[in-house]
Amino acid sequence: MTEAPADTTALPAAGARVLSGMQPSGDSLHLGNYVGALVNWVKTQETYDAFFFIPDLHGITVPHDPADLRERTRRTAAQFIAGGIDPDRSTLFVQSHVPEHAQLAWVLTCLTGMGEASRMTQFKDKSTKHGADAASVGLLSYPMLMAADILLYQPHGVPVGDDQKQHVELTRNLAQRFNHRFGETFRVPEPFIPETGARIYDLQEPTTKMSKSASSPNGLVNILDTDKQIAKRIKSAVTDDGTDIRFDREHKPGISNLLSIYSAVTGRTIAELEAEYADKMYGHLKVDLAEAVVAKVAPIRERTFQLLDDPGELDALLAKGAEKARAVASQTLAAAYEKVGFLPGAAPA
């Protein structure tokens, strides 16, 4: 069977099911996470049957501290809710709370060729950098777990970023392969390019995307930073030669990044900001931008800490989301298990 390549399509129709996730890999989301993903997830839940999850199973493919993972998972969930994800409108859950993810991942792993798995970019990069013995089998099978994450919920569309195209393609191939061998079971999801916010760059290295793995923490604006920390980092941001304030990614990456952030947190256009600061200095832009970012982030931070102060209530919200997710995932897994020939288990009492 020749497996069809994916053609990135337009956005799914209103009411379609879509799924997105974000790993709990830091103590705080940063401004790039918020602007580039979370803001658009909030819009997504207005139009689609939206499933949002925290893939904590993926977080143990590399060495980790259990207490940190637990805390970061709660913090990520709290920031999702504080940033506008409505647990009543969307299905918000933690991956490890839905055991069907790991169960389906094993079935898909058994359909994946060794060469196919070892060609995945993440495994290749880390095994080349640190040596094959340092890369876990979990890292090798990570893409099959990601495929299970997607296929369990039979989504119509899967948002595709530059760093995940290869994984989505494998997901489509595995769905097609399973359907061909065992009968139609999985919807083959169509990849789509989601609406995205401005790409936010590192404040100290404005040609590099803002990331938790930044060489210096001063390049990050974290959602849970204090007002003082946020203002200090923005005011110390790298700028460019000259004094004119204009958007020019090639020649003025520092100022262009600050203008992008300003536009993202206020809703004002780049052109409006260029006009307002045409006769002003870089310092004026930084002071005003710091105030604007603090005004945007502070309510999210405060709501996050309110949620974290009541972990029982937060855990209850996540348990409710897991129950909703399992209602869908269990049906998909049961169909897949029946198709591959597993003997039916006893019905729960």
Active site residues: 126, 209, 212
Contact 115, 151 (CB under 8 A): no
> What's the burial of 298, exposed, middle or buried (CB within 10 Å: 0-12/13-18/19+)?
middle
The reply, when asked if residue 149 is annotated as ligand binding, is yes
The reply, when asked if residue 24 is annotated as ligand binding, is yes
The reply, when asked if residue 300 is annotated as ligand binding, is no
**Cα–Cα dist 20/41, whole Å:** 8
Contact 87, 315 (CB under 8 A): no
**Cα–Cα dist 235/204, whole Å:** 11
The reply, when asked if residue 21 is annotated as ligand binding, is no
The reply, when asked if residue 25 is annotated as ligand binding, is yes
User: How large is the angle between the packed helices 282-308 and 253-266, nearest 10 degrees?
Assistant: 50
The reply, when asked if residue 232 is annotated as ligand binding, is no
**Cα–Cα dist 58/324, whole Å:** 21
The reply, when asked if residue 33 is annotated as ligand binding, is yes
Q: Parallel, antiparallel, or unpaired for β 49-54 and 91-94? A: parallel
Go through 213-238 and write b for each residue having 16 or more CB atoms within 10 A of its CB, e for each that does not.
ebeeebbbbbbbbeeebbbebbeebb
The two structure tokens encoding residue 198: 């401005």
The reply, when asked if residue 330 is annotated as ligand binding, is no
The reply, when asked if residue 120 is annotated as ligand binding, is no
The reply, when asked if residue 211 is annotated as ligand binding, is yes
The reply, when asked if residue 40 is annotated as ligand binding, is no
**Cα–Cα dist 226/246, whole Å:** 29
The reply, when asked if residue 212 is annotated as ligand binding, is yes
Contact 269, 219 (CB under 8 A): no
The reply, when asked if residue 12 is annotated as ligand binding, is no
Which residues participate in the annotated binding site for L-tryptophan? 149
Q: Which residues are annotated as a binding site?
A: 23-25, 32-33, 149, 161-163, 200, 209-213
Q: Which residues are annotated as a binding site for ATP?
A: 23-25, 32-33, 161-163, 200, 209-213
